[in-house]
Structure 1
Amino acid sequence: MKGQLGELEDAVMTVVWRWNRPVTVREVLVDLQRDRSIAYTTVMTVMDKVHQKGWLRRELDGRAYRYTPVSTRAAYTAALMHRAWALGDDPGAALTAFVGTMTDTQRAVLAAALGAAAGGGP
């Protein structure tokens, strides 16, 4: 999968992930129009771009495509975190600063994730 998503691409993917089944441009359009004024052709173009980036797969269903996500929202978020980690010249300092901004609940989730990754289970 190529690159991170722009703001509108992320909004489209959020809708697709939320539907959790193959969706058409029209379905995504209706969902997005609850919060913003947006044209069908804009959504179609954005979904095509996200498909080209490798985040969506599509299958022709009659005259329209049905789109499904290639991976989960969690996998996308993890990729963003990994990319951000790779940008710094001092990953330890960046991680320390990041953990310093976390809430107690977020730190507990992090501790559980580290335990699970180390084989300690959730």
Structure 2
Amino acid sequence: MNTGPIPAERRPGGALEAEVLALLQSSRRPLTPGDVLQHLSDDLAYSTVVTVLSRMFEKGLLTREKQGRAYAYTPVTDTHGFAARRMRQALESDPDREAVLTHFVEDLSTSDEQLLRQLLGGLPDQG
């Protein structure tokens, strides 16, 4: 029988990463792991924050620069850029790009379809 302390409730997968990303996006300057730890209202270990930031850097979500003995992290893009990145990754995950795009466009609202047509009309022809 385990008589040790009851562990804190775990976050769903990716929740801590999302919290850290939101914090970094709202910051006006790069943040160190210590800064991130200070702003998060949890009982996190410094090493946990370092690990999360390092993994996010390795995934290409953050850039970093040396600041004293630590790194200071900055997101590579804003919220909209990350949404576009996820859309692009979903498109690239299926070999039939035409089918994916067709279904995507068919599911758009009329106003979103008009906006997409307007945006595409303003792009130079790549052909």
- Tell me the TM-score normalized by structure 1: 0.64
Please tell me whether residue 78 in structure 1 is matched to residue 84 in structure 2.
yes
Q: 1:49 aligns to what?
A: 55
- How far apart are residue 72 of structure 1 and its match? 4.1
23, 30, 45: which one pairs with 1:22?
A: 30
The 2-side partners of 1:84 and 1:91 are apart by: 10
Please tell me whether residue 99 in structure 1 is matched to residue 88 in structure 2.
no
State the structure with bigger RCO (CA 8 A, min sep 6), 1 or 2.
1
Q: Read off the aligned partner of 1:22 and give its amino acid letter.
A: P
- Tell me the TM-score normalized by structure 2: 0.62
Q: 1:87 aligns to what?
A: 93
Work out the percentage of aligned pairs sharing the same amino acid: 35
Structure 1 runs (4+) greater than 6 angstroms displaced: none
2:122 alignment partner, SS class: helix
- C-alpha RMSD of the superposition: 2.9
Q: Read off the aligned partner of 1:16 and give its amino acid letter.
A: L
Please tell me whether residue 59 in structure 1 is matched to residue 65 in structure 2.
yes
- For structure 1, the residue ranges without an aligned partner over 5 or more in a row are 1-5
- How far apart are residue 39 of structure 1 and its match? 0.8
The 1-side partners of 2:70 and 2:105 are apart by: 45
- For structure 2, the residue ranges without an aligned partner over 5 or more in a row are 1-12
- How far apart are residue 22 of structure 1 and its match? 1.1
The 2-side partners of 1:81 and 1:49 are apart by: 21
Residues paired across the two proteins, number: 111
